[in-house]
Chains A and B, each alone.
Chain A
């Protein structure tokens, strides 16, 4: 593994008018690592994701990819740099088949005479292989996304991002809407992706889910990073306390 971080963000600030959403966020991401970014609601997680995925530009700060300072001016730049974001709403279309969803926008085609048509045979067989690798047993590539469970949908969305060349995968609250069993499936998927050398940025406010897969933990609180800890160096209570700014929990204990 390379010592150079795959992606590094230093002292990122972002203001919207008078509101300072981010007041100095630093994080460094390595290949094959699952880096958990923890924070309570309103800590600035969404803003930070949008900066990494090119939706927003930082007011100040430095972004480097493979050691080279880079500007991410739009989502296209982010995709070209191998950064893929799987949002909570997944960008999957429930009424469409798994195969049509997986290839949407990047359909494989073939020529039949002068006409270009989708190559369903190839699309479907590649899809089945990819799903198999991710541990999803699809009955049929033409079954609709709507028939899959929430965890399976997450996995399809992740598999799609990785298949299309994501080096850095940003997962926005992938487990927040899932039950225990589904969550464990998604965590397994994250493990599989990580083994391929993809860097995973796992954004969550659920400390136990983060601890289950994370290699590193960065806590975001009120627009600032409070530092990064490695797996094993920090426990549930400490993380929880940092996230909540040490206050709310003590109030609860009384």
Chain B
């Protein structure tokens, strides 16, 4: 082979490798979505600092749960209990802190411990019984939602528990979930006139965007952590292997069960981060919070290029899938389109993504 031919074949292979990137579809999707809304919603303030914060926060919420679902799906499993876990963890925090009078930091740590233990239990049952995680976690979708409502009702006779803001006031852990960072920088920018300030009301004189909410910080932190874990570490290699072919991975000595159980624990962790940020932000927990979140997480992951059958996917892709979600949901609001159409859009997008992914899978595995 001549050197030129070699170069051409190398280029061609690089091109096809790029085509096989799991997150390529999501990258194209994000570009198209931004382009679309930039063209139609430029004048609505959607891309002002305030407007961006709006869809940025919504996207961050999706990202937090999508990251967990992504690693779990690559490891070959699903968790349909994510939404119920969000409600459950929130009620634990509210009941222990408001009703039982625990310090908020202890409530938060307890919520994390209990949720992650339940995540581990779902994983343990899945790997020990060899049942599809779809079914095992579906059972927990009901168990956890039922427990959440039960706990809320017996302790307060209500399904919404408020008053968290008051008890969390001087807590050291709560600001990690509900606060904002870089507020000084935003104040300074407002003083310089770079950021607008409120002109009237109780917040008059304060910047319209006072800092980066912790929810965004968590989202970015989780993306970095999960992407690094998956692509750079040996544990990441095991995640791919556990989902790609569990039996083959076991043959070669990969602790497949441990990997899968840990991914269920991580998914529960992400759900609890979501729950905690919401409880601290709103100052209340509601037993019906998180409904349908498990599907939104899974859809983000699939739009991000992961295969439903496991073994293939990307955290960046899942995060971009979540951004598409956030931008479209809020964008429709900005341009004044009936918000129910969002679900139509979502369904269509999901279908397209799955068809595309299946095609990509054939290309990679050489299957006809």
**Which residues of A pack against B, CB within 8 Å?**
87, 89-96, 100, 103-107, 109, 115-118, 139-140, 142-144, 146-148
Q: Is B339 an interface residue (CB 8 A)?
A: no
Q: Which residues of B contact A (CB under 8 A)?
A: 9-10, 13-14, 17, 20, 232-234, 236-238, 240-241, 244-245, 248-249, 251-254, 307, 311-312, 361, 364-367
A107 and B364 in contact, given A90-B248, A139-B10 (Cβ under 8 angstroms):
no
Which of the residues B234, B241, B254, B366 comes within 8 Å of A118, measured between beta carbons?
B234
- Beta-carbon contact of A92 and B234 below 8 Å: no
Do A104 and B237 have beta carbons less than 8 Å apart? Answer: yes
Contact (Cβ within 8 A) B365 A118: no
Q: A117 — which chain B residues lie within 8 A by C-beta?
A: 232-233
Residues in B whose Cβ lies below 8 Å from that of A109: 234
Residues in A whose Cβ lies below 8 Å from that of B307: 95
Contacts A104-B241, A117-B233: A91 and B252 contacting too (C-beta < 8 A)? Answer: yes
- Contact with A92, one of B9, B232, B248 (Cβ below 8 angstroms): B248
Q: Which of B253, B312, B364 has the most CB of A within 10 A?
A: B364
Q: Hey, which chain A residues are within 8 Å of B236, CB to CB? A: 118
Nearest 4 CB-CB pairings of A with B = A146-B365, A93-B244, A107-B234, A91-B248
> Residue of A at shortest CB range from B245?
A93
A96 touches which one: B9, B244, B361 (CB < 8 A)? B244
Complex Cα–Cα for A117 and B248 (A): 23
Task: Find out whether the CB atom of B364 lies under 8 angstroms from the CB atom of A147.
Answer: yes
Do the beta carbons of A95 and B237 come within 8 Å of each other?
no
Q: Which residues of B contact A139 (CB under 8 A)?
A: 9-10, 13
Chain A, residue nearest B233 (CB)? A117
A and B contact pairs by CB, cutoff 8 A, 6 listed: A91-B248, A94-B365, A107-B237, A117-B233, A144-B20, A146-B365
Contact in complex: A144, B364 (CB < 8 Å):
yes
Extra 18 A-B pairs, beta carbons < 8 Å, given A94-B365, A140-B13, A146-B364: A91-B251, A91-B252, A92-B248, A93-B245, A93-B248, A93-B311, A94-B364, A96-B240, A100-B240, A104-B241, A104-B254, A105-B252, A115-B233, A117-B233, A118-B232, A118-B236, A144-B364, A146-B366
- Give Cα A147–Cα B249 distance, bound, in whole angstroms: 19
- Chain B, residue nearest A112 (CB): B232
- Are B237 and A147 neighbours in the complex by a CB distance under 8 Å? no
Contact of B244 among A90, A94, A107, A143 (CB under 8 A): A94
